[in-house]
Amino acid sequence: MTLRTLDSLGSLTGKRVLVRCDLNVPLKDGVITDDGRVRASLATINALVTQGARVILLSHLGRPDGAPDPQYSLEPVALRLSELLGKPVAFAGDTVGVSARETVDSLADGDVALLENLRFNAAETSKNEDERASFAAQLAEFGDAFVSDGFGVVHRKQASVYELASALPSAAGLLIAAELDVLEKLTENPARPYTVVLGGSKVSDKLGVIGHLLPKVDTLLIGGGMLFTFLAAQGFRVGGSLLESDQIDTVKGYLAEAKERGIRIVLPTDVVVASKFGADAEHTITSAESIEETPFGQTGLGLDIGPETGAEFARIIAESKTVFWNGPMGVFELAPFAEGTRAVAEALTRVDGLGVVGGGDSAAAVRALGFSDDQFGHISTGGGASLEFLEGKRLPGLEVLGW
């Protein structure tokens, strides 16, 4: 099967095209703090506008629990879209109600509208297929065709992702096509050396990726909160650091498998240990094997990789031809514990090949630390979707598009 792309829909001039985007952006006091996902949606929107389609955008934002909640309104996103597109974006105050109908009916060729948060309707994320299908049918009444372009949700069976794609002639947008092109380069004959950098808080979130990628990579770099479970698996004490004791045996298995396959798993040699979780915490740098020997003893918290490790990770990354990175190296939101993540991000900008930032917290981190998107080979818009793809899982939002 081949993924259906925009060309498969034929001429869209004058057609009403529903587009499922992922406009789930962070907001603070009603202001977007990172518009990366909005900008990532522009290519498909502009392509449809150029064709003269009447574009109706759909998205979720946050977790409003199936009912309207003003703090999760998409109205700020409509305003930002208007700025980026250089033209008005009509905003409907509901999803399938009177406002949505009036907004859609008022569109002319080349116009763009955004409907209110899909998750204000509980049926969007319902476990009941009939409820999802009913909601999808209501949405489908607004359109002549459907374009799925929210890569960050294609691993979810949700009404606007799965059922809606069956209710109308459907295809993948340019963003999804671009994401898949990059992910296939990471899994099918990647240029070598191939390095994967994994961080984030929990090793359990990454076990499937580790297991699936171990036979494919040359080097695996481990940072973030998950590193302490790896250290514990090697017999080191980790103080009050994040530790998933129930995963230690699994990690031991991966360490043994990597050794057997001749694959390097590189763990930090030094870490930044703090007295508490906070930007004002006392902190010190210590070797990875002596975390409990700091002044903070058994309560010390490891909150970042150390400078020695950051330099070593950077060297390995810069010498690689293919790099995939998912998960910060430390608590980058707090300045004293951001340097490990900064070192990895900076090294990724120097990759002579394909350097991929794997979405989610990693994408947020590089932008928060002052890097621009064009410094990297690719910044994914879907952390969870990227990981599940790399785990070898089938993604329902792609399968329904013929993939």
**Which are the contacts of 122, defined by CB distance < 8 A and separation ≥ 6?**
65, 66, 67, 131
Q: Is 302 known as a binding-site position? A: yes
Residue 261 marked as a ligand binder: no
Cβ pair 223, 340 in contact under 8 A: yes
The number of CA neighbours under 13 Å toward the Cβ of 220 is 26
Q: Is residue 315 annotated as involved in ligand binding?
A: no
Torsion over CA of 370, 372, 376 and 382, rounded to 10 degrees?
90
With beta carbons less than 8 A apart as the criterion, state whether 210 and 199 touch: no
| Residue 326 counted as an annotated binding residue | no
141 three-class SS: coil
**28 annotated ligand binder:** no
Q: Catalytic one among 360, 382, 383, 397?
A: 360
The answer to the question of whether 180 is labelled as a binding residue is no
Q: Any catalytic annotation for residue 360? A: yes
Which two structure tokens, joined as six digits, stand for 193? 């050396």
**61 annotated to bind ligand:** yes
Annotated binding residue at 246?
no
Active-site choice (39, 80, 202, 276): 202
> Count of CB atoms within 10 A of residue 246's CB?
9
Say how many C-beta atoms besides its own lie within 10 A of residue 226's C-beta.
25
Burial 141-156 (b: 16+ CB within 10 A, else e): ebbbbbbbbbbbbbbb
Q: Which of 306, 355, 384, 397 is catalytic?
A: 384
Annotation says 300 is catalytic = no
The catalytic residue among 15, 20, 37, 342 is 37
Catalytic (active site) residue 358: no
The answer to whether 22 is annotated as binding is yes
Q: Is 304 a known ligand-binding residue?
A: no
Residue 188 labelled as part of a binding site: no
Q: Is 192 a catalytic residue?
A: no
Instruction: Give the residue numbers of the binding site.
Output: 22-24, 37, 60-63, 119, 156, 206, 302, 333, 359-362
Instruction: Enumerate the known binding-site residues for ATP.
Output: 206, 302, 333, 359-362
- Catalytic (active-site) positions: 37, 202, 360, 384
Binding-site sequence positions for substrate = 22-24, 37, 60-63, 119, 156
Query: Which residues are known binding-site members for (2R)-3-phosphoglycerate?
Result: 37, 119, 156
